[in-house]
Structure 1
Amino acid sequence: MKKYLQYFLVTAFLIPVAAKAQFETIRDSVVQLYGIVMTSDSLVGIPAVSVMVKGQNRGTLTNSEGVFSIAVLKGDQIEFSHVSYKSKLVTIPRNIEGNQYSMVQLMVNDTVYLPATIIRPRPTPEQFARDFVNTKVPDDDIEIARKNTDIATRKVLLKTMPGDGGEATRIQFNKVANQARYQGQTPPMNIFNPAAWADFIQSWKRGDYKKQ
């Protein structure tokens, strides 16, 4: 029993010491990496560069000035990538003194040359002439305005377009005014009004009463 108690005391003493030593080792290996990513030819900061720790789902992006900052471990591999530049892979040294490391990373333009391609609208001149003649050209603003102000179009719009709020209000006010004008007496009948007959005859000649 005394032997087991000695083992327990030794274990209880060594576990915190080992955990503390491991924590100190991990804390010493953590490095705050910061720096700037620039073009190699003009030394201009590159925004939106992906700064990723290789093999881990962890990273950051450079800001509008090309500056970045990320926590890494000594010995990690940092990959710099951008759609317009060649990727760079940098290894953080293991013998860094302290917990901060700064760097200036230069990137080279990734230029891709594609073979020349000639785009033709039609394979033969005959097909192009045929399609050119049969292509419907959309109306321009002047043609659209001319069609909208045509006499036939205006007649159709006059008969089919509903009245707006101002027109309905004006009709209602005229109705109320006529009722007030002939209050207490019989309104006159336009059947005996020569002017009304003249308007009726003109409307008849224009064909306003024909079935559409």
Structure 2
Amino acid sequence: MKYLIGIFFLLVTVSASAQHQEKPLVQFSGIVHNADSAKIIVPYVNITNSATHKTITASNYEGYFSFVAHEQDTLIFTCVGYATTRVVIPADIKNKSYTIPVMIKPIIINLPTFHVFPWATTDEFKKDFLAMKVADDDLEIAKKNVSRSALTALMSTLPRDGQEIQDGLYQGLNTSIENSHSITPNPLLNPLAWGSFINQISAGDKARQNVNAEDAN
């Protein structure tokens, strides 16, 4: 009985294969297009024959394909991001050549919004938020720009302009004119100047003594 069943399935398989081989061969060609826009070519699409469940070929970088199949074969076109498309080769084809444009429809999947944060935990976020330095507004920036320290720093770094130099020259010229008819005091007769000069000499002697003591140590 087992042998009879095996022989029966073998005959069925041979008969189906013979019927498939009896179908005429066809040169099947075409170009794969995007169904939403025919001007867009879809390259590298896999093409599988459902009769053999084997991949026949794939379209090239221009979407073109061409291979031999049988009449009434069902060809399955698959590509990542596109819906599966089936094409059946009709029977009784003249010239044994069948060329069609194949339209495959893109699949659009809307994924949920996903937010990425640089903090692993809520505690880290709170710590960074409390330590965050808030930028000053326009009023606070203006106050800092006109503060005494800011103006002093600008005065020490900004070069003198022409107007300031001219005012200084005029002031010096005015002082010399005012003192032209007066007696210029002699600093050698000023006791305060002599006292300051003696203090400077004493300070210099003490500084030299301290340097010599440090060199001796």
**TM superposition score normalised by structure 1:** 0.45
Q: Which has the larger radius of gyration?
A: 2
**TM superposition score normalised by structure 2:** 0.44
